[in-house]
Amino acid sequence: MTMKDEWYFLDDSEKRQGPFSQSEIINKINTKEISINTLVNSNELKQWIPLNKSVIQPTDYPKNEDNLTKEDCDNEIIITDNIPVTTIPERVGGWLWFFCFSQIVLAPVITLYNIIISQSNIDYSYTPASVISWVFTETFFDIIICGLGIYVGISIFKIKDNAIQNAKYFLILFLGYKFFSAVLPNLFGMPDNVINIVNRESIKDITRGIFTFAIWYIYLNKSERVKRTFKL
């Protein structure tokens, strides 16, 4: 039985049963174990559908079978190969779910917290204009990165096409931004003592960024759940 020929159905308690070949599904409906209204899916469907809406279709009354009733004939099924089907993914779960959660919820919360803290620490009466400009510029880029992360997280959660590839691009952009933000203070001509403090924090931020990038980029490339969910 190939993966293309693997079928599943929901039993009376709504538990998934399978995998079964198409011929096994035929036997189960002919023995009345399941009906034409039973919900089924395969590795090439996107959602659960009634059996009679799948590529396995009811047939006309069979010939040379005098002992079959009309109900038997209604339940008999055949396989059609000319109906296009699409891929059924697994639900987003495990660490993949946590990645979505971190981008949709955790990252925005942390970004908002950092913005509030940075703004509250500015005394506009005494803080140099260069420092204020740097803070507002970095805040702007932080919001952009945060917004892109939310988009990526939602795309994965909804199992959108190219969501994983977009997530990888986002992680590369995220890491690049960590290095960019480290040199950003030097572009505003800030006092040396401020730059020294910012640089120390930037080293920590880059280290965390590299760690975050490595963990998630490797996960998106190697995870079996990701491959099954998005049929990679």
Q: Is the dihedral of CA 94, 227, 156, 47 positive or negative?
A: negative
Average pLDDT of the residues of the chain: 82
pLDDT at 96: 92
What is the share, in percent, of the chain residues with pLDDT greater than 90? 36
pLDDT at 157: 92
pLDDT at 85: 45
Distance, in Å, from the CA atom of 51 to the CA atom of 35, rounded to the nearest integer, reads 8
Distance, in Å, from the CA atom of 142 to the CA atom of 122, rounded to the nearest integer, reads 18
More confident residue, 89 or 185: 185
Helices (H), the chain: 22-30, 70-75, 94-101, 107-120, 129-157, 163-183, 192-222, 224-230
pLDDT at 124: 78
Given a contact cutoff of 8 angstroms between Cβ atoms, the answer to whether 174 and 145 are in contact is: yes
Q: What is the CA radius of gyration of the chain?
A: 28
- Where in the chain are the domains? 3-79, 94-230
Q: Distances from the Cα of 123 to the Cαs of 112, 114, 120, 140, 158, in angstroms? A: 19, 16, 8, 19, 44
Average confidence (pLDDT) over 101-121 = 92
Predicted structure pTM score = 0.60
pLDDT at 90: 58
Distance of CA 142 to the CA centre of its chain: 23
Average confidence (pLDDT) over 103-107 = 95
pLDDT above 80 for 106: yes
pLDDT at 61: 34
CB atoms < 10 A from the CB of 29, how many? 21
pLDDT above 70 for 60: no
pLDDT at 36: 81
Given a contact cutoff of 8 angstroms between Cβ atoms, the answer to whether 232 and 168 are in contact is: no
26-30, 33-37, 78-82, 175-179: segment of lowest average pLDDT: 78-82
What is the share, in percent, of the chain residues with pLDDT greater than 70? 83
pLDDT at 79: 47
pLDDT at 87: 44
pLDDT above 80 for 86: no
| pLDDT confidence bin for 105, thresholds 50/70/90 | very high
pLDDT for 169-218, tens place per residue?
999 999 999 999 988 888 888 888 888 888 888 999 999 999 999 999 99
Which class is domain 3-79? Answer: alpha beta
pLDDT at 190: 81
